[in-house]
Amino acid sequence: MFKTFAFLPLLVLFSGRSSALINGAEVAFPEVVRLEDNGKKVCTGTIIGPRTVVSAAHCVTGNSPFFMHNGRKYPVRFIASDGEKQGHDIALAVTDQPIRGAIFARFGQGIKHGVKILMAGFGCTKKGGKPGVLHAGENKIIGMDDDHLLAASPNGSVLCEGDSGGPAFMTDGVKRFLVGVSSLSDISKININVRLDSQLSHAFLKTAARLNSLEICGVSKVCN
């Protein structure tokens, strides 16, 4: 867990683990949803299958969680990674019924130092603010280990309360490719995302799909 990130204890101390986006712009990404639990907690998630949204494990709640999509309310149940205590901060929010009109995110490859990522979330736009509408902003990968991405850049976007579980995308200028899940930040300049191309993530997604009969794009389902 974060073997190469010597400053992780400082991040954890100041993040509060409840991470719209600071230094971001308002956007409309149809594959990104706002997860709620009757107004007490807000997180962000990304649709990756007909009944499946990927988010952060620390967003898991038993207080009637749901999200809205195209005017419909979708109650969810959570499936969290067994590796959460080791820093694998990923969970799936699963609906009983297929998400009508859903656009599925595509998984991406080719993560490396210096690559720009686009983070998105429904969190606050300033420290101490309240979660709001969807925002997105760029940042740059400045470090990584087998399971995590470290992103920071001058005037780059920063995760804030409500952004937890949101996507980290790579783009080719036209399409977005999902490469990470937002986990925590120092609410100043440094962000940590969990990698979706890791062995831990692949194993979790494959096992969850098999045990729960889920179609997950790029894992148990071929999506266009």
pLDDT in tens, the chain (224 residues): 333 344 344 344 334 443 446 667 778 999 999 999 876 788 999 999 999 999 999 999 888 899 999 999 999 999 999 877 778 999 999 999 999 999 999 999 889 999 999 999 998 877 666 678 899 989 999 999 999 999 988 888 888 888 999 999 999 888 999 999 999 888 778 899 999 999 999 999 999 999 999 999 999 888 86
Check: CATH 3.40.50.10490 for 32-105+199-212?
A: no
Residues of the chain with CATH 2.40.10.10: 8-27+107-195, 32-105+199-212
What sign does the dihedral 133-58-113-153 (CA atoms) show? positive
* Sequential DSSP letters for the chain: --TT-TTHHHHHHHHTT----BT-EE---TTEEEEESTTS-EEEEEEEETTEEEE-GGG---S--EEEETTEEEEEEEEE-TTGGGT---EEEEESS--TT----EE-----TT-EEEEEESS-SSTT----S-EEEEEEEEEE-SSEEEE--TT--B--TT-TT-EEEEE-SS-EEEEEEEEEE-SSS-EEEEESSSHHHHHHHHHHHHHHT---BTTTB---
Question: Domain 8-27+107-195 is in which class?
Answer: mainly beta
